[in-house]
Amino acid sequence: MSSQELLKPINQFLYCETPQSWIDEAIKPENLAVLLIDHANCELKAAQTAMWLLRKYAVDKDSADTLLAWLKPYEDFVYRKVGEGDFSSAQQGLTKKLMAKSNFSHSDELIDKMVMLIKEELHHFQQVCDIMRARGIDYGNLTASRYAKGLMQQVRTHEPATLVDKLICGAYIEARSCERFAKLAPYLDDELNKFYVSLLRSEARHFQDYLSLAETIATDDISERVKVIGEVEALLIQSTDHELRFHSGVPV
């Protein structure tokens, strides 16, 4: 499937395109370090979000502890500056079978989709770290953008609506990431161009996985919630931001 075919459902799902002014700012050579560091942060946060969903809804306590141990080397490196950033041993994946909660009927489906997503996001995180290391870019601290927080403010506070809304938010985050990879790729050097194009397929599938899970778990039609959250997502992308981040809005 071509990039254009992959992007068609994503562009139909999103309520706006990335503004050209964001692209113009993001491709400035002096902003490459910020862009790559925040990209790495986003990959780790995507894995953390998927893991939180598993631990909250789908797996028993022993399996939840196993998931935490799987993520620990990555979090130690980013938040505690422990290690050299080589996660080859951690990327072997889970060696223990996760046990599903018996009181949640969608546990198996959530486990299947989220474990694959976590593995892919952590692999992408490693790839970004490798690119940064090769270019002499240190993994510095960055403040988070307002984007994810702005989306999560729309999440309802009763179940299963909370889970459904979080899944819809996840679909928008993955879709926007995919759209921005495609927007940036033509402006970047050969290595980054090929890397960002290579990410399109998995990110497009992640968006679809989140959305299909939301549709399956919901007890009613989700189209109105998709619309509400989608309009907020577009507002966050089209309003101004003082700091450049991978999901930030229009540069001031």
The full DSSP string for 125-153 is: HHHHHHHHHHTT------PPPSHHHHHHT
Q: Is the separation of the CB atoms in 210 and 114 below 8 Å?
A: no
Mean pLDDT for the stretch of residues 183-197? 96
Q: Report the CATH number at residue 203.
A: 1.20.1260.10
Under the banding of pLDDT at 50, 70 and 90, the label for residue 83 is confident
pLDDT top residue among 44 and 85: 44
- 28-49 tens-digit pLDDT: 999 999 999 999 999 999 999 9
**Coil, strand or helix at 32:** helix
The number of residues in the chain equals 252
Residues 6+ apart with CB under 8 A from 8: none
What percent of the chain stands above pLDDT 90?
A: 85
User: pLDDT confidence of 94, banded at 50, 70, 90?
Assistant: low
User: Residue 115: is its pLDDT beyond 90?
Assistant: yes
Q: How many domains, in total, are found in the chain?
A: 1
Which range of residues forms the domain containing residue 225? 3-251
Please give the pLDDT value at position 5.
86
Q: Is the pLDDT of residue 93 over 90?
A: no
For the whole model, what pTM was predicted?
A: 0.95
Find the mean pLDDT for residues 226-232. Answer: 98
* Least confident stretch, 77-81, 90-94, 132-136: 90-94
In sequence order, which residues have a C-beta less than 8 Å from that of residue 197 and are 6 or more positions away?
3, 181, 182, 185
Mean model confidence pLDDT for the chain:
93
* Rounded Cα distance, 124 and 39, in Å: 9
For the segment 192-204, the average pLDDT, to the nearest whole number, is 91
